[in-house]
Structure 1
């Protein structure tokens, strides 16, 4: 997963829910030095009895926000969505000579 174009990651999930698996895997895919390199990561853990749906919001360097519906998406689909926009930004950087 291409993470160098991510600036903000916000998550909210119940760790005991089976639907939280996607969020946990996404957070595990972030590099260990993500915060040191300037990425803002906010995680809110919901109580066990919470019925609130899981939330994953990703913001890119160009200002685009992705609000991903984790009730229907698996980790591979989330990675595809994030990588799709990251590849677009990588092409723009390449064309600009950065």
Structure 2
């Protein structure tokens, strides 16, 4: 997963529910130095919370993605993030 263009990660999930697995795995995929290169906000919900889990990303170009992690699997989420990151890579390569 290409994470060098992500500037902020905001996530909210209930670790005791199965649909929150996508959020937990995404956070595990972030590199070890992620806290120095991006702002990470994580909210862990209580066990009986009815609120849905979500993931919100901000990129260097200002684009924001709010992803519903209850419906997306980690592969789908990774594909969405990489798609935008590849376009930012191409734009950076063209600018020199």
TM-score normalised according to structure 2 size: 0.98
The gaps in structure 1 that reach 5 residues or longer are none
Match of residue 77 from structure 2 = 78
- Once residues 70 and 42 of structure 2 are traced to their aligned partners in structure 1, the CA distance between those partners, rounded to angstroms, is 18
Provide the aligned length of Structure 1 versus Structure 2.
96
Q: Deviations over 1:21-42 (max 9, x none)?
A: 00000000000101112x0000
Would you say 1:16 and 2:16 are equivalent positions?
yes
Give SS of 2:36's match: coil
RMSD of the TM alignment (CA)?
0.6
The gaps in structure 2 that reach 5 residues or longer are none
TM-score normalised according to structure 1 size: 0.96
Which structure dedicates a bigger proportion of its chain to helix? Answer: 2
